[in-house]
Amino acid sequence: MQDVKTNKKVIDEGVEAGLAKLTPEKIASVINQVLEKETGARFKAYVQTCMRCGLCSDACSVFLSNDRAPQYSPAAKVKQTILEMINKKGRVSREFLSDAVRIAHTECNVCKRCSMYCPFGIDIAYMMLTVRRIIHKLEITPLYIQDTVNSHAATGNQMWVKQDEWIDTLQWQEEDAREEFEDLRIPLDKDGSDIMYSVIAPEPKFQAGLIYQMATIMHAANVNWTMPSTPGWDNSNMAMYTGDFETSGRIARIHYEAAANLHVKKIVMGECGHAFRSVYDVGNRWVGWTAPPIELIHAIDFYHFLLTTGRIKVKEKYKKSVTLHDPCNISRGRGLHHKAREIVNILCENFIEMTPNKEHNYCCGAGGGVINCGPPWKGTRMVNNKEKSRQLKRTGAQVLIAPCHNCHSGLEDIVEHYELGMEIKFFGDIIFEVMEKTIFEEGN
């Protein structure tokens, strides 16, 4: 793909450096190993069932954003990557692989919307993740997302946050949040708590205020909670998206082990979508757990509980007009769109639906690790997000609620690039703004 601004092919140093080291033998052996040893009947069935009808095209926001150019349809992405690898028995060129990286890593958000449009329910996201697995094993993963995975592998969190920095940040937020409640605590490693709260590493790194807000909400709701001081506090997982399944499984396990060591009853995780997919759906399975070994709920579920049981009371409803972006990984990934709507209606006066919505919502365009491929790919990402910008614009809302970190970052880029003038907020931001700052007492 050409970069929109410079009109040149996007150069990703990580990909280029990796490609330079590859030999035809290595390429063929890796591809054939993955295709023969790591895939099974499901993969074969998907390849043999697809009748090339093209009905998946309308599902894909990247396809729609590029004025329906045929090479962007989901089935076309399969044709240009995995089918070619099968047909050539792994004997593909470096140029081919360079294109395969671009397609699988930056033109597919693995959002699974196409599975809902394919009459046969073919899981094309799985096919693209298989391409990414091959890319990982060939060591040609885009630079920025690979750095994130390296951080996961070395530190257990995605942003190279050191343990003392983590603890310091929590204590700093605790001190600040005492402006709201003088005896507020962010309890670290409190054994036997009802709830362990986990976040993604960008929170302590760039958005510590979100931890402040959550601490205030927890305190007001009188919740017996804790956060771990040791690795496992970060629930995010970029390795899941690069095909580094070994690291992916390991960090999901660290997360659950932290909760098990603290003997908590339940894990509540912050407003993040991909992290939810990791600990609820993907990482746990790699470790061998059919379902999460400790009950795990997304922030939406938790807020819903707090607001409907009166643990958090709304002082005055939020006035500005709001719309809601349903993150793929918690709507199509967990059906939380119904509860999300109930929360919006409890919190806000003026709610405008965007269309399509719920399971059928378009991905934010950043998901599936696409935004994590970093600055080299931002220009093309903005082109691929045109349809999303149209969808947002149609709502005419002042505020866009996005209960997911990845969505947040991606939507900020879209709002800025397409000059939509929307404010983007988490549910936590709005709850913090409209809640009564009194402490809930049982029986009241």
Partner 1 sequence: MHSFIQFITGPMVWISFGICFIGIVFRLLQIFRLTREKENFMFTFLSVKFSLRSILVWLVPFLPVSTRKSPVFYAVSYIFHILLFLTPLFLLSHVILIEENFNLSWWTVSDWLADIFTVAVICALIFFAIRRRMVPEVKFLTGLSDYVFIILVALPFISGFIAYHQFFAYQWMVIIHVISGELMLILIPFTRFFHMILAPLTRAYTASEFGGVRHSKDW
Determine, following the binding rule CB under 8 A, whether residue 315 of this chain makes contact with partner 1: no
Nearer to partner 1, 132 or 332 (CB): 332
CB of 341 to partner 1, least distance (A): 14
- Among 93-101, 116-124, 369-377, 421-429, which window interacts with partner 1 (CB under 8 A)? 116-124
- Does residue 73 touch partner 1 according to CB under 8 A? yes
Using alpha carbons, select from 362, 372, 377, 375 the residue that is nearest to residue 102: 377
Q: Rounded CA gap, 400 and 157, in Å?
A: 28
Would you say 118 or 211 has its CB closer to partner 1?
A: 118
Angle at 269 between CA 268 and CA 274, to 5 degrees: 145
296 SS3 class:
strand
In the list 5, 9, 21, 42, the residue contacting partner 1 (rule: CB under 8 A) is 42
Choice between 8 and 37, CB closer to partner 1: 37
Neighbours of 345 (CB within 10 A): 11
Least CB distance from residue 309 to partner 1, whole Å? 21
- Contact flag: residue 287 with partner 1 (CB under 8 A): no
What are the tokens at 410? 């991606």
Query: Measuring CA to CA, which residue among 89, 62, 87 is closest to residue 75?
Result: 62
d(CA 226, CA 189): 6
Identified binder of partner 1 from the candidate list 54, 192, 310, 396, rule CB under 8 A? 54
Cβ(124)–Cβ(76) under 8 Å? no
Residue range at the interface with partner 1 (CB under 8 A); choices 5-13, 70-78, 215-223, 369-377: 70-78
Q: Give least dist CB 282 to partner 1, A.
A: 10
Distances (CA, A) of 152 to 28, 67, 78, 238, 309: 29, 37, 29, 8, 37
Q: Coil, strand or helix: which one is 443? A: coil
- Does 396 contact partner 1 by CB under 8 A? no
- Which of 359, 390, 418, 420 binds partner 1 (CB under 8 A)? It is 359
Between 339 and 388, whose beta carbon lies closer to partner 1?
Answer: 339
**Count of positions on this chain that bind partner 1 (CB under 8 A):** 46
CA distances from 358 to 92, 280, 420 (A): 40, 19, 22
Q: Which residues bind partner 1 (CB under 8 A)?
A: 39-42, 44-46, 48-55, 57-59, 63, 68-71, 73, 75-76, 79, 115-123, 281, 285, 290, 331-335, 359-360
